[in-house]
Amino acid sequence: MEERRVSQEELIEIYDLCKRKDIRYLELRLELVDHIASRVEELWQEEPRLSFKEAFHKVYKSFGIFGLSKVAEEHEKVVTRRFWFTVWKELKHWFKIPQVVLTLLVFATLYLLMLNWPVLSQVVYVINYVAIISLVIYIFWERRQMSKKLGGDQSMIMGSLYQSGWLFYLIYFTPFNNWILFNQDGFFNLLLTDRGILINTLLCFFSALTIVCSAKLLRMAKSETVSLLERQSHFQRAAQA
Amino acid sequence: MSKSYIKGFLKDILLHLIAEKGESYGYELTRMVEERTQGVIKLNEGALYPVLHKLEEQGLLVSVFKTDGSRPRKYYRLAATKESKELLSEMESQVQLYISALAAIFKNEEEWKSAE
């Protein structure tokens, strides 16, 4: 006897349920659709008389009282960690031999240049600030474009790009930045002092790190969107048919 | 079996099975674990997929979507890097060491109980 398989319409039913149950990352949703469908097919081997709805209900119940929400919740942690993992990997790369020589050379040169021409410190700060704000706007816009392509859905990398916002926050709103902003000597005058220049160099370092990591993730997100679009269209084509 | 035991070894279990099979997917991995342990260890989806994705992000696994009949299926395989192979062999020797250490502890415990 031929093995009973989950039909396209039934697959779409599983796909829609996963979407309704907050499985918002497309990769995970596609994997869960296959997982649930495989379990339904296995159940049909034991109980061939079950309808799809009965089998699906049984499989869904086996996910426990929190159902797919628990899977979504656990998965969110992986997405959050991904950005920080990329930052950590990049940081390690910058401090590896021989790259560490270049890293130190670039930032030591910047520090010495600002020390010799303190007014440069103010210019660098403004450029840095504008660059970061532009990057935030660019990431936001790119994410919207990718999400539009995926019909409002998002990939895991797109989700982890949200985390870059936290890094910007840590860079620009940490106590040591507040110290610059609220110091009695005035923000711009403080940038001319030795300590201000050192802090400014550190800010440049973190900004460069954030920009490089975000750019890498953005590039990965773009290529992933193309691949996911193809997988997703599989379900959409079936739905239209 | 308590979930906390399984959680500690989940990464090792998955890497071992994927390396052995060549390539595998989520559901197949849960079935392999269940069959081999005769149902003693059951992997739940909430733990399985985050670990698979974490291993992929760390560069230890690589994945590819293939179409199985009517649906896309994500297959994982061990990354063909020196680092992943070294980690696998290190992990396997660590697990073996851990198993024999535990066996030694609980064997003594049994001897002690029978002597009592």
Q: What is the pLDDT of residue A180?
A: 62
Residue B100 CB burial class (10 angstroms; 0-12, 13-18, ≥19): exposed
Nearest-10 Cα torsion for A125, A131, A133, A137: 180
Same domain assignment for residues A95 and A33 = no
Same domain assignment for residues A164 and A185 = yes
Q: What is the pLDDT of residue A101?
A: 95
Q: What is the pLDDT of residue A42?
A: 92
> Which domain covers residue B99, as residue numbers?
3-115
The interface predicted TM-score (ipTM) is 0.84
Q: Which residue has the higher pLDDT, B5 or A32?
A: A32
CATH code at position B88: 1.10.10.10
Is A206 domain-assigned?
Answer: yes
Most confident of A63-67, B8-12, B31-35: B31-35
Name the stretches of chain A with pLDDT < 70: 1-2, 65, 171-187, 236-241
Q: What is the pLDDT of residue A235?
A: 74
Is A1 domain-assigned?
Answer: no
Is A2 domain-assigned?
Answer: no
Same domain assignment for residues A37 and A138 = no
Work out the number of other CB atoms within 10 angstroms of the CB of residue A183: 13
Q: What pTM does this model have?
A: 0.81
Is A174 domain-assigned?
Answer: yes
Q: What is the pLDDT of residue A241?
A: 47
Selected residues 26-85 of chain B with any CB under 8 Å from a CB in chain A: 26-28, 30, 44-47, 49-50, 53-54, 57-58, 65, 67-74
For residue B95, CA distances in Å to B9, B11, B51, B91 come to 9, 11, 18, 6
Contact between B49 and A31 using a beta-carbon 8 Å cutoff: yes
Mean pLDDT of chain B: 87
> Which domain covers residue A23, as residue numbers?
8-63
Same domain assignment for residues A132 and A37 = no
CA distance A171 to A210: 9
How confident is the model over B52-98, as pLDDT tens digits?
998 988 889 999 888 877 788 999 999 998 988 898 899 999 999 99
A39 to chain B, any CB pair closer than 8 A? The answer is yes
Same domain assignment for residues A144 and A106 = yes
Same domain assignment for residues A57 and A164 = no
Same domain assignment for residues A103 and A206 = yes
Same domain assignment for residues A165 and A109 = yes
| pLDDT over 70, % of chain B | 90
Chosen domain end from A16, A36, A63: A63
Q: What is the pLDDT of residue A105?
A: 96
Same domain assignment for residues A81 and A53 = no
Number of domains in chain B: 1
Is A153 domain-assigned?
Answer: yes
Same domain assignment for residues A56 and A131 = no
Same domain assignment for residues A34 and A107 = no
A32 to chain B, any CB pair closer than 8 A? The answer is yes
Same domain assignment for residues A53 and A123 = no
For residue A157, CA distances in Å to A152, A179, A182, A222 come to 15, 34, 36, 9
Work out the number of other CB atoms within 10 angstroms of the CB of residue A125: 21
